[in-house]
């Protein structure tokens, strides 16, 4: 399935897009048994964003493909980076237990030269109570 993108409506600003994809399925290349995972996609777009319907259909296309956890996580990230050229993208794949082992794979891309803005800790700016 072909992934699609659309122009970033606010390319002048760094902003965080978070997606949870709870129904990822592929097949174990050794046994042919299904592997299930929740994918977490976090990215800061540059000129383009991922179109959601195409992402859904692309993810579903893995249902009958054999793939090691590490390979499929990196392949999905590579495809999304090639499509959108983001400033930053992280794909976390949390695979459900198989043989008593949970597997989490985290793959990242960072555009050369891009640095995140400093973190703003709003908790330290909480208003004080006016009760006496």
Write out the catalytic residue numbers. 28, 35
Q: How far is Cα 58 from Cα 19, in angstroms, rounded to an integer?
A: 14
The residue behind tokens 């493909």 is 65
Alpha carbons 44 and 128: distance in angstroms, whole number: 34
Residue 17 tokens, joined = 């897009």
Q: H/E element holding 80?
A: helix 69-84
Half-sphere exposure of 100 (CA within 13 A, CB side): 0
- Contact between residue 72 and residue 59 where contact means Cβ atoms under 8 Å apart: no
> Residue 71: CB partners within 8 Å, gap ≥ 6?
none
């Amino acid at each position: 399935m072909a992934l699609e993108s659309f122009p970033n409506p606010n390319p002048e600003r760094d902003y965080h897009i978070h997606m949870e994809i709870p129904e990822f399925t592929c097949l174990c290349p050794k046994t042919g048994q299904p592997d299930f995972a929740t994918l977490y996609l976090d990215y800061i777009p540059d000129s383009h964003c991922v179109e959601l319907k195409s992402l859904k259909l692309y993810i579903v296309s893995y249902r009958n493909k054999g793939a090691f956890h590490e390979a499929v996580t990196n392949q999905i990230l590579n495809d999304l980076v090639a499509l959108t050229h983001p400033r930053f993208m992280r794909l976390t794949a949390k695979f459900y237990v198989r043989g008593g082992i949970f597997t989490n794979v985290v793959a990242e891309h960072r555009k050369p030269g891009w640095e995140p803005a400093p973190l703003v800790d709003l908790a330290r700016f909480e208003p004080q109570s006016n009760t006496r």
